Structure 1
């Protein structure tokens, strides 16, 4: 008879998750750890990366107003994209949820379609649309809204528009998941008791989909803050964000330790914001489902 080896019940989940855990450690944690170690190395323009270690790279980022401006610009861009995604994504999802088949499935594919296309291809398309002779300026001029082209390319406005188009599907998916748990009879009850549609939305619908909105906002903010392709193509070389600044340090000046320190600071800022918002989401979930 073949002998069997009994494993402790508590070890079974770890054994089942070990392949994915090893992949996660090897492809994410190890590179991040190496990047963090690199950020403390000394750099010499003549000799390159040295084996000595220093805090100079982080001190340079914290003390230089140039990097302050880049981080503030990145934060403002991420907040603007998050606000636009909420402004357009939430009503869009509510309308979508009230559609009947097959229109609901059709428009859901249209909304999520950008996720099926390379971000570089999408951004290049927006670069054509936002140009001085692009479709948007030509349409505005044809309707007599503007007399001369509006500068959208190589501006933060253009970057925000392109990133909103890229990231709004993540907001739609998050709010869609929350709407699926919403009982339509509760909304009908509010209307039958004399409440206006606006009051029903504010007092009934919004509190229940708020966890989905907050979850989508976390995802959109994190992706917008770390975006590279859209700011690099639409914003150009002069309008830098944190991701493009780190890229330039790695490949233009070859100052890898400084580029690594910028990347690590971006990661830390993202993690702090995400953890703070996550606690807010969990608290809201408890208020909704326990109260």
Structure 2
């Protein structure tokens, strides 16, 4: 484009500065998209994919008690784990504990997050700090704390003794593992649900109540469908972390109540059977992913319309 300007009584065309000097194209625009993500993918592959591939290869090795792992391609480790009632019981116990922990965290964490969303400062900040406090302490310290509470001479049994009951065997039981896991995993449920509640318009609740809907109906038809993404993400995190937990089942379950993570530890560092330990770890990962994906699909299909 050219602008006509009058200079000294004559029409003189002047070049438009934008047309005369176009902006240079950034050098990043000429690179392929995959090349921009190559550094992040290389880091991901080095820290996660490569160890997983090495673990997968190790599962096909054969174990000799005198010489250790021997390179071979055989499925004997998978047959031993999948066909053994001992390991089947361990996996059922692992996922049973994870499922119970997830259900309890949903039943406790979702109402707790709803009450937290209704609070105002400074009470909300104080209670949020209380909820996040378990994350500030080591898992081992928390497990030892529950061991002192639930032991034969612990505070809980002392309280029962004051009423003429007990002592009860609370430590080294499934009950102890579940209680400690709920204490550890509860923040992972409260925070996603509370975040989902922050996006909820309070006027929708007021509108439902003004249209003569009961509080229970409002919670079920208005609030619950909108916080389902938070419940879904929180339950997936709780289930995955509970199924792969090691410190709490190891300290509160003892040698008798083994889970998959403690079985992997025993095979790697106890009997030094690395191929069998790698097989248990890989099957735990695969089963965990299958259960979590199935659970996600079921909830997505059921609440797809209400979640948009």
User: TM-score, normalising length from structure 1?
Assistant: 0.92
Aligned to 1:11: 32
CA contact (8 A) 1:246 1:260 kept: yes
Distance in 1 between residues matched to 2:171 and 2:136, nearest whole Å: 24
Provide the secondary structure at the position in 1 that maps to 2:189. helix
Q: Give how far 1:140 is off.
A: 3.4
Distance in 2 between residues matched to 1:283 and 1:209, nearest whole Å: 16
Q: Give how far 1:20 is off.
A: 3.0
Pair 1:230-2:264 in alignment: no
Aligned to 2:136: 116
Q: Give how far 1:116 is off.
A: 1.5
User: Among residues 158, 161, 179, which one is paired with 1:161 in the alignment?
Assistant: 179
Q: Give how far 1:285 is off.
A: 6.6
Aligned to 1:265: 283
Aligned to 1:89: 109
In our comparison, the structure showing a higher alpha carbon Rg is 2
Provide the secondary structure at the position in 1 that maps to 2:69. strand
1:226-262 deviation line (CA, Å, top 9, x unaligned): 0000000000111100000011000111110000000
CA contact (8 A) 2:160 2:166 kept: no
Aligned to 2:121: 101
Distance in 2 between residues matched to 1:265 and 1:271, nearest whole Å: 10
Distance in 1 between residues matched to 2:228 and 2:160, nearest whole Å: 36
User: Among residues 168, 178, 188, which one is paired with 1:170 in the alignment?
Assistant: 188
Distance in 2 between residues matched to 1:284 and 1:170, nearest whole Å: 23
Provide the secondary structure at the position in 1 that maps to 2:41. helix
Distance in 2 between residues matched to 1:157 and 1:83, nearest whole Å: 14
Distance in 2 between residues matched to 1:235 and 1:225, nearest whole Å: 14
Q: Cα 1:74–1:218, aligned 2, differ >3 Å: closer, same or farther?
A: same
The gaps in structure 2 that reach 5 residues or longer are 1-23
Distance in 2 between residues matched to 1:10 and 1:197, nearest whole Å: 56
Q: Give how far 1:21 is off.
A: 2.3
Q: Give how far 1:283 is off.
A: 4.3
CA contact (8 A) 1:175 1:212 kept: yes
User: Superposed, which structure 2 residues align to 1:1-291 within 5 Å?
Assistant: 6-8=27-29, 11-12=32-33, 14-142=34-162, 144=163, 147-283=165-301, 286-290=304-308
CA contact (8 A) 1:123 1:233 kept: yes
Q: Give how far 1:277 is off.
A: 2.8
Distance in 1 between residues matched to 2:35 and 2:268, nearest whole Å: 39
Structure having the higher helix fraction is 1
Moved more, 84-93 or 3-12: 3-12
CA contact (8 A) 2:225 2:303 kept: no
Distance in 1 between residues matched to 2:269 and 2:70, nearest whole Å: 17
Distance in 2 between residues matched to 1:283 and 1:63, nearest whole Å: 34
Aligned to 2:6: none
Relative contact order, higher structure (CA 8 A, sep 6+)? 1
CA contact (8 A) 2:225 2:306 kept: yes
Distance in 1 between residues matched to 2:307 and 2:171, nearest whole Å: 46
Distance in 1 between residues matched to 2:53 and 2:107, nearest whole Å: 38
Work out the number of aligned pairs and report it.
285
The gaps in structure 1 that reach 5 residues or longer are none
